[in-house]
Chains A and B, each alone.
Chain A
Amino acid sequence: MVKAKIATTSLAGCFGCHMSILDIDERILKLAELVEFDKSPINDIKRFSGQCDVGLIEGGCCNHENVEVLRAFRKRCNILVSVGECALMGGLPALRNGIPMTECLKEAYLDGPSVVDGSIPNDPELPLILDKVYPCHEVVKIDYFLPGCPPSADLIWESLVGLLTGREADLPYELIKYD
């Protein structure tokens, strides 16, 4: 049997959702039977080797690079899943959405109480920050959503197995939580 290919990434997230993927514990052995990991921070593969079946996205889009990566995932993955509150609605990083950008940068790099000789970073190497943090589905088409901060390992497991085996995931009430 050809194994399904799966890719994952963390955009403006905290890696908590990836930790939750690892939280499936020994089921990871079963997962390894079902899938082969392509581009992912879990195996540190940086480039797509080809078309993938499933892409898991952690985090929303707060800068230009996030948008590029998300678009690449959309192109390379047949099914794209938003994983966690940040991917779904921006999450904690989106707290800046109500504050003007200049004010944010000034507070962080110039006027903050712990700043000494601050300056606003402006290196060409740095990806440009966006006007606000965007949920992934406002940037590309997302096929499925797994809410939670992070989504529980059981939710991730049940949904993945459902996707990979082609049967509708049976998600009990307790698995769907926004916190």
Chain B
Amino acid sequence: MSDKIKFLMEGKECTGKPGQSILQAADDNGVYIPRLCYHPDLKPGGSCRVCTVNVNGRNMAACTTPVADGMVILNETEELRDLRRALVEMLFIEGNHYCPFCEKSGNCELQALAYRLKIMAPRFPYMFPERKLDATHPAIFIDGNRCIQCGRCVRAAEEVDHKPILGFIGRGVAMRIKAGSSKGLAGVEIGPEDACVKVCPVGSIIVRETAYRTPIGKRTYDHQPIGSDIEARAPES
């Protein structure tokens, strides 16, 4: 078997390796597929669907679909852009995202995606749900208002930190992130260096006394859209 997979991405000939997902193969070819619940150090979660691409006429999640020979993939169609916008807008209205005072603003992947997708305001009505703050731990807090249920922290705790201290309770719109102790975060073994703390794409898991250190203008997404680093990998053609 050849160890090179050939596929078409947006009409461009690309190559991938066996075992790669469409998203990973696209990354290697310098094509950025928007994503949220995916993290390069973790197994794909496949829950946010922001990475949806069109494969041979069908919409599939790029982070969980293995790349295969002869695939014809579309990434930047107006239909897909609108679908992604709708998903990101839903995440904004489903939580309480106050960007003006959030510690993560400027470094937040949800916000950066919204910038990249040029979302000026969500089309859905705000839900203003009641969410909880877990401030029981001296070094770390979880602000449920900002959680987008991506599951990255849960996977990182299991796969990288090897201690399943975080999980979800409830289902659907009532799903909430929770530390696995009746005492909340104070009851689990967690530290600022843990992967589960670092992988949160939004301002939900925050290390205390680290906020607002980077001035506006110097933050990750102040000047370059999210995904620019991946697009810079495009091989010379």
Contact = CB atoms under 8 A, between A and B. Distances in A.
B126 A90 contact: yes
A74 interface: no
Contact of A137 (B121, B216, B222): B121
Interface string B125-136: 110111100000
Contacts of A95: 98
B154 to A, nearest CB: 25
A91 B115 contact: no
A149 B100 contact: yes
Contact of B128 (A97, A174, A178): A97
A176 B115 contact: yes
A59 interface: no
A147 B105 contact: no
A174 B222 contact: yes
A138 B125 contact: yes
A146 B120 contact: yes
Interface in A149-179: 149, 173-174, 176-179
A57 to B, nearest CB: 12
A92 B100 contact: yes
Nearest to A146: B120
A48 interface: no
Interface string B210-232: 00000010000011110000000
Given A94-B128, A147-B120, A178-B114, 10 more contacts: A85-B98, A85-B99, A135-B126, A137-B121, A149-B99, A173-B115, A176-B120, A179-B102, A179-B106, A179-B216
Interface of B: 92, 96, 98-102, 105-106, 111, 114-115, 118, 120-121, 125-126, 128-131, 216, 222-225
12 contacts: A82-B121, A91-B100, A94-B128, A98-B128, A98-B131, A145-B121, A149-B100, A173-B225, A174-B222, A174-B223, A176-B120, A177-B115
